[in-house]
Structures are given as C-alpha cells and as structure tokens.
Chains A and B, each alone.
Chain A
Amino acid sequence: MKSSLKLALGLASAMVASTVVSNAAHAEDLTLCWAAWDPANALVELSKDFTKQTGIGMKFEFVPWTNYADRFLNELNSHGKLCDLIIGDSQWIGGAAENGHYVKLNDFFDKEKISMDDFVPATVLGYSEWPKNTPNYWALPAMADAVGWTYRKDWFSRPELQAEFKAKYGRDLAPPKTYDELKDIAKFFQGRDIDGKKVYGAYIFTERGSEGITMGVTNVLYDYGFQYENPKKPYDMKRFVNSAGAVKGLEFYKDLYKCCTAPGMTDAYMSEGLDAFKSGQVAMQMNWFAFFPGLYKDPNVGGDKIGFFPNPAGPQAHFTQLGGQGISVVSYSDHKDDALKYIKWFAQPAVQQKWWEIGGYSALKAVVEAPSFPHSAPFAPDFLASMQMVKDFWAEPSYATLLQAMQKRVHDYVVADQGTAQEALDSLVKDWTATFQDDGKM
C-alpha cells in the first residue's frame, strides 16, 4: 500500500514538474497572426532562422481570408493577447493606430536604425503610416502585394487562335495593355472549345461578404477616373466618387462580368479564381501577386503555360489596387520586447532577400531594386511595375463601414442588376458621407 502511494505521488510530481518545465519552455514563444495562404507557409519556413538565432520559438495563427478580418479585428477590439505580432491588412492601420491596438514603432526604428526610406514608398504609405503622409509608423512593410493578372500563354500562342484573333481585331493576340483590349480577348475566348473543353474569357472578383468585389472593381474604377475624394478638400466626395468616368468604369466592370466570366461566379474571390485558372476554365485571371509563385509552380497550368501582366490602363489613368500588409506589434502582448526583436530581424536585407526567394514579397528597396530582381521570377517585372502604380482603399478607422457600403452598392449593381451605375455610386456617396458625419469628420 505504502509503495503504491509512493509510486502515485512520484508520478503526480513528475507530471506537475513536466507541465511546469514545458510551460517554461513555451513561455518565450511568440504568436504571429496572419491569413492562411501560400506566403504564410513561406513565413513559417523563414521564421525557423529567427528561432535558430534567438532561441525564441514561433507559433502561428493563420485564418482563411474570408474570416481573417472578422477574427483578428475581434481579437484586437477585445484587447486579446493571442497575437504578439500581427500582419494586419493595410486598411486596418487607421483604426488600429487610433484605438491603440498597435505599438507605435518610431522610437524603435530610430534606435535600431531601421529607415522607412529603405522601403518602397507605396508600401510605407499603405502599410505603415497613420495619419497618411506623416512620419508616424505603426508597422514594418512585410508583404508587398497588388492586383495583377495571369493568362494562358499556351492558348495565346496557338497559331490558329492568333490568326483568328488578328483577322477579327486587327492586332496580335497578346497580353492586353488597356481594359478595352482585355474585354476583346475575354470575348474571344468566352465559350470557346479548347482541347474538347468549354472555356471562359476572364475571372474577376465578385465576392460580397468581405472585400472581394471592391478589391476587383477599384482596379477598373481608378483607371476610369474614380477618386475617393477631392484632392484639395478632404472628404468631399461628390463628383469624385460618382464622376462620369467612375460611372463608365462601373458599367465596364459589369459588362465584363456579364459577357466574359464563367457561370456561377457570383460570389467569387481569390480561391475561386485560383480554382478556375488551375482547372483550365479561364483564359485570364485577376488575382493578387502573392499567389503567382504558387501558380507558376502548378504542374498543370504553370511553367511555360502561364504568363503574367499588370493591371491594364483605362481611358483616364493607370492604377492598380494595393494589397499586402505590414507587420505590427500588438500593444496588448506580454512579449512586446521579443516581438520587436522579430521585427528587427525581419527588416534585415538578407532576411528580406530570402523572404522573396521562398515565396514572400519583400518591400525592401535593396531587394526589389537590385539589378537581378526582374530576372528572378517571370512575374517580378510586372510586380515591380504594379508597385509603382498602386492605390489603396480608405484606411480610416471607419474603413469597415466604408467597405461594407461599397460591397453592397457595387454587388447590388454588378451581380444583382439593381439600379444603374450612377445610382449605385450616388448611393455610395451618401453612405460614405453619413459615415464620415458620424465620425465628426464632415
């Protein structure tokens, strides 16, 4: 009896001790929160070097894009301690800075001699600064990204299709430079039989729930003259959001959706686009550059079969929608010092170079402006060109309300055929005005 008691006590002590030891071992672990996608897997690989160098373990919390904003904004709003580091969307910066979710990094950057001049200006403006165009930094540019296009190079290069296209449109079947050219090509492929399979012209974003259709339509709207506000008078949106050019741009997006997309694409975003392209369903696909390394490696549609081009120009301008994120330290974290160590490590040129090589997109000038960069991947020149013409959605603290209003107005018009483009944009001006009035900014 006595020996059994001793054994039981011994086992219990061992269990308690092992729990304490294991907790102590994990006490220094940092948790990094981001979206679940290809670059996140690359970051897991990259972060192994950080653990090797510092002995600080890394844990990751990745959430699918459709729930990413809901999940992590809830976490930040509830002052949760789950994330020590967060790679938050560019539009969150205003709210996260004003509500104290992120640690301001200016002093840290000064101390560690990290200069924002070393990063691509568009990424500093988009991912780090709040208020915009002021030297107040809340994140380090982590993942540069923009909307680009992929196309089926193997289909475009077929002699019989090239001849037919030239006869019909009087020019070569080549990646489009303008949106009108893109629509011609999309129409040309729509419903065509290729290798015994019916294919469709283009894949564009139409998703309603999170940010999809807004991230798609803005690419066209910017090029047709849409502006968020009067450049001379902030928050003055009449005749800028609903200008004649913007109306034409919205009509164009709807025409493109109606004429040249596959059936069932009424609520489609990144993953649906990847599926459509990988299954050989579409000739051209709108998507984020972040996915292009994975697509290039795809055994069925990658390699020689895939080509890339930047967002085409419109009649009034040439822009593309900014994507990507900066990495921030969460102010509620108990491991802020270690989290800052991670940012210091991540900002190093050698780490940034490796980040690009394994599937991430660096925003460091030393990496992207190196002479070898354009030759490092087939999509690298287009990425570089795109980063010179990016424009982002509102990054105001009310961005979520502003985004939801745009999602509704655009989806109602483009997908559900409700009202006219003019009515949709007029309603959007009203919604946005009401939001800014609620915020006391108008």
Chain B
Amino acid sequence: MLNRTADNVARATPEPLARKVRGISDKGLAWLFISPTILLLLAINIFPLFWAIYLSFTNYRANRSNEVVKNLGFANYQRILGDQDVWIAMQTTAHFVFWTILLQTVIGFTLAWLIDRKFRGHAFWTTVILVPMMLSPAVVGNFWRFLYQPQTGLFNYLVAFFTGVPPSSFEMLGSVQLAPWAIIIVDTWMWTPYVMLICLAGLRSIPEYIYEAAEVDRASNWRQFWSITLPMALPFIMLAVLFRGIENFKMFDMVNLLTGGGPGSTTEVASITLKRQAFESWRTGYSSAFAIILFVAVFGLANIYVKALNKVKQR
C-alpha cells in the first residue's frame, strides 16, 4: 500500500523536478532537511559563543562603538579570578545552590514518596502541589515581594502568629541575614514540585515484584526503603539534582525581582554580577570573560556529575 502511494507520488512529480531529486542521495536528503535547524543553531548558539570567546580577550565596550578594540590577552580572565567581589558572588551562588538543592531534594522526594502511596485523592493533591511550578517566575517574584512586605505582607503576619514576634520587627528582603533565606524559600516553594515529579517517575519505575520478594524475605519497611526504594530511585534523584543545579547556578530572574542582589551585595549571585558588568557598566570584554568562566565551570561540573550518574545507573 505504502509502496503504491510512493509510486503514485513519484509518477506525479514533474519530470524536470524528478530529474533533480533523483540525483540526491538519502544522506543528502537528510542533510537538506536538517540544515535549516543547524543553520539556526549556528546563528543563535554557536556563533555568539565563539564571538563571546573572542570578545573576552579584548577591551571591547558595547557602548563605545567608536573606540579602537585592543587585544588584552588573558588580562580580563586574570582580573576576574583576582577580583574579590567576583569570589564573593561565587560564594553567594554556591550557598544558594547548596541550600535550594538540599531542601528541594529532601522535600520533593518526601512528597513523591507520599504521593506514591496512592491514598484517596492523591491525583488532586499532585495537581495542587504542581501549581507553583506552572507560574511565571516574574509573577512569583512580584507576589512574594508583597508577601514579604514587612508592614503589610502576609508572611510576616504568619510568622508573628506562630512565634509571637511583632510582624514589622523583621524584614525578609531588607535584612542581611534573612534576604538569602527569603530567596531560598521562594525557589524551594516554586521548584520542589519539579523535583517531586522526577522522583515520582523514579518511584513508579520500581517493579512491584521486588517489594513482594522483600516481603517474602520478611524485610521491614525501613529495610525495603534503604535497600530497594532509595537505590533504585537514586538515578532519578541525581537527575533532578543535576537539572536544578544547572538552573540555580545561573539563577537570575527570581533574585533580580526579589532583592536585585541586595541588601548591599548580600544576594548578588554570579548572574547578577554578570548582568551588572555587561549591561550597566558596559564592560563587554570583561563580562564575556566572566560568562566564559561560568560556562566552563557549569559545563565541567555537569560533566563530572553525569559520569557519577552513569556509574550509579550501572550498579
């Protein structure tokens, strides 16, 4: 049937066109189909990357189009690696990545494990839990700003209700001690459902017969969790950690909306520093070098992590 249709199409093709097409091999045809996508990728991903690498060795400033561009060698890289403010931003990023991943993994896995019990109404609760993840970060950032408002925000009133501390006596976004945690809370609230979803897929992929065999062997629930559930769900958990790690390493929107990097530079993560250098101070060459360093760091760490993930999967 399929061959007959193909024959009909071939017969209906005008002779001059058919003569041309006949000359193209299967491989050629495949290239013809994927070349628009490849060209697009080259234009919007690969070319900017190489252009940024080139700029990172220069003193180029996007706001000084008339200025002569000088080659600085590795001077931009040396300055960045010796810049104390950059290291503080990297530490802030590391602190943020560590705590968000830890909290999201623990809470996400716990929620997935509970949802996997398939209690009555679990489908409804799954949908409810997933809602924060479906919201736009811009919306989330703005409404949490209101929630954290020290005089009228609901968050302060809730804390006051449970602890007895006066609501306007602390500022989640204005305090040096609390601002980093304010962002961690929002990111955890928004992205724990994502981790939960991946963990749930992992838990659902564990064959039932393994638990049945364990029960025959009289393994306790605790033993079953440590010896079956956790090891078999581990590759999924690690995958979730990888995704969230990469995402949070380059976190920008939420921090920008909630604190803008403040108070002072307390929550200034690497991406905020990068944006300030690139689009506020207009140090294009310097910020390109910074972007390349961040790219190499994320790429390197992700590669090491993927190797570890593969080892866990092979076990």
Assuming A266-B171, A416-B262, A416-B265, is B62 touching A77 (CB within 8 A)? Answer: yes
How many interface contacts (CB-CB < 8 Å) are there between A and B?
Answer: 91
Q: Is the CB of A418 within 8 A of B264?
A: yes
Assuming A77-B62, A99-B63, A400-B281, is B174 touching A208 (CB within 8 A)? Answer: no
Q: Is the CB of B260 within 8 A of A400?
A: no
Q: Is the CB of B174 within 8 A of A412?
A: no
B-contact 0/1 string along A255-293, CB 8 Å cutoff: 000000011111100000000000000000000000000
A281 and chain B: residue at smallest CB distance: B151
Enumerate chain B residues within 8 angstroms of A266, measured Cβ to Cβ: 171, 173-174, 262-263
Q: In whole angstroms, how far apart are the Cα atoms of A121 and B260 in the complex?
A: 37
Q: Indicate if A401 sits at the interface (CB-CB under 8 A).
A: yes
Q: Choose among A74, A209, A266 the residue with the greatest number of B CB atoms under 10 Å from its CB.
A: A266
Task: Report the minimum CB–CB distance from B63 to chain A (whole Å).
Answer: 5
Assuming A73-B63, A400-B281, is B174 touching A411 (CB within 8 A)? Answer: no
Q: Indicate if B245 sits at the interface (CB-CB under 8 A).
A: no
A410 and chain B: residue at smallest CB distance: B264
Assuming A77-B65, A404-B280, is B264 touching A263 (CB within 8 A)? Answer: no
Q: Indicate if B271 sits at the interface (CB-CB under 8 A).
A: no
Q: Is the CB of B262 within 8 A of A415?
A: yes
Q: Is the CB of A417 within 8 A of B168?
A: no
- Selected from B85, B260, B283, the residue in CB contact (under 8 A) with A401 is B283
Within 8 A of A (CB), among B245-291: 259-266, 276, 279-283
Task: Report the minimum CB–CB distance from B236 to chain A (whole Å).
Answer: 39
Task: Report the minimum CB–CB distance from B201 to chain A (whole Å).
Answer: 40
Q: Is the CB of A408 within 8 A of B265?
A: yes
Tier of interface size on chain A: 20 to 34
Enumerate chain A residues within 8 angstroms of B100, measured Cβ to Cβ: none
Task: Report the minimum CB–CB distance from B282 to chain A (whole Å).
Answer: 6
Enumerate chain A residues within 8 angstroms of B65, measured Cβ to Cβ: 77, 79, 99-100
B170 and chain A: residue at smallest CB distance: A263
Enumerate chain B residues within 8 angstroms of A262, measured Cβ to Cβ: 151
A-contact 0/1 string along B133-171, CB 8 Å cutoff: 000000000000000011100000000000000001001
Enumerate chain B residues within 8 angstroms of A100, measured Cβ to Cβ: 65-66
Q: Indicate if A314 sits at the interface (CB-CB under 8 A).
A: no
Q: Indicate if B59 sits at the interface (CB-CB under 8 A).
A: yes
What are 22 A-to-B residue pairs whose CB atoms are below 8 Å? A70-B279, A76-B63, A77-B282, A99-B64, A208-B261, A209-B260, A263-B174, A264-B149, A264-B151, A266-B173, A266-B262, A267-B262, A267-B263, A400-B63, A401-B282, A405-B281, A411-B262, A411-B265, A415-B174, A416-B263, A416-B264, A418-B265
